[in-house]
């Protein structure tokens, strides 16, 4: 039976490719799970339309992420922390703290997109990368100062 993959499937191949598989595998597994569809002209046309729509959406998301990245790189945020003797920071500045400070500047950024190897535990100026899209990364300057 000839099928077209709708999603990537590890043992077969990538989405959009056509394969010949055993009838039972297609009828009992691939088609009911939505991994593949029968290779008809109508399904091939529909898959091409979906692919072009996905491509346009990805391009739009990429452009929007690029615009947000340019705006984010213009700002710098200041995190005030409590310090003890010899300027030792109590606690740390985490991705959630940075996300909240960015939100105060008018941008909505998910804390999971902020790439901190470890929380900031010292005073100073840090450049923090933010992954807005798979190909777009913004760098925000974070100033950690004492209260």
Which pairing describes strands 18-20 and 2-5: parallel, antiparallel, or unpaired?
Answer: antiparallel
Query: What pLDDT is recorded for position 132?
Result: 92
As a whole number, the mean pLDDT across the chain is 91
Same domain, 77 and 111: yes
Query: What pLDDT is recorded for position 120?
Result: 92
Same domain, 56 and 101: no
Please tell me the total count of domains within the chain.
2
Alpha helices in 75-120 (DSSP H): 95-104
Same domain, 81 and 140: yes
Q: What is the rounded CA–CA span in Å between residue 147 and residue 47?
A: 58
Which pairing describes strands 136-146 and 76-81: parallel, antiparallel, or unpaired?
Answer: parallel
Query: What pLDDT is recorded for position 7?
Result: 83
Of 65, 89, 115, which closes a domain?
65
pLDDT < 50 regions, the chain: none
Same domain, 17 and 75: no
- For 3, the token pair is 């099928």
Query: What pLDDT is recorded for position 145?
Result: 93
Same domain, 28 and 73: no
3-state secondary structure at position 54: helix
What residues does 125 pair with on adjacent strands? 143
Query: What pLDDT is recorded for position 46?
Result: 87
Which CATH number covers residue 138? 3.10.430.100
Which CATH number covers residue 43? 3.40.5.10
Q: What is the pLDDT of residues 24-56, one digit of tens each?
A: 999 999 999 999 999 999 988 988 888 889 889
Query: What pLDDT is recorded for position 48?
Result: 85
Residues in the chain: 147
Of 32, 65, 98, which closes a domain?
65
Q: What is the pLDDT of residues 48-67, one digit of tens each?
A: 888 889 889 999 999 999 99
Q: Which domain holds residue 52?
A: 2-65
Query: What pLDDT is recorded for position 16?
Result: 83
């Amino acid at each position: 039976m000839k099928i077209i993959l709708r999603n990537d499937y590890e043992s077969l191949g990538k989405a959009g490719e056509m394969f010949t598989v055993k009838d039972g595998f297609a009828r009992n597994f691939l088609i009911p799970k939505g991994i593949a569809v029968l290779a008809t002209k109508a399904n091939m046309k529909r898959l091409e339309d979906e692919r072009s729509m996905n491509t346009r959406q990805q391009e739009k998301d990429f452009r929007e992420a690029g615009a947000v990245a340019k705006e984010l790189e213009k700002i710098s945020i200041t995190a005030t922390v409590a310090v003890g003797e010899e300027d030792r920071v109590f606690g740390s500045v985490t991705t959630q703290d940075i996300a909240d400070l960015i939100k105060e500047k008018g941008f909505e950024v998910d804390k999971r997109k902020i790439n901190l190897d470890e929380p900031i535990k010292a005073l100073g100026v840090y450049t923090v990368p933010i992954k807005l899209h798979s190909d777009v990364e913004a760098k925000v300057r974070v100033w950690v100062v004492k209260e």
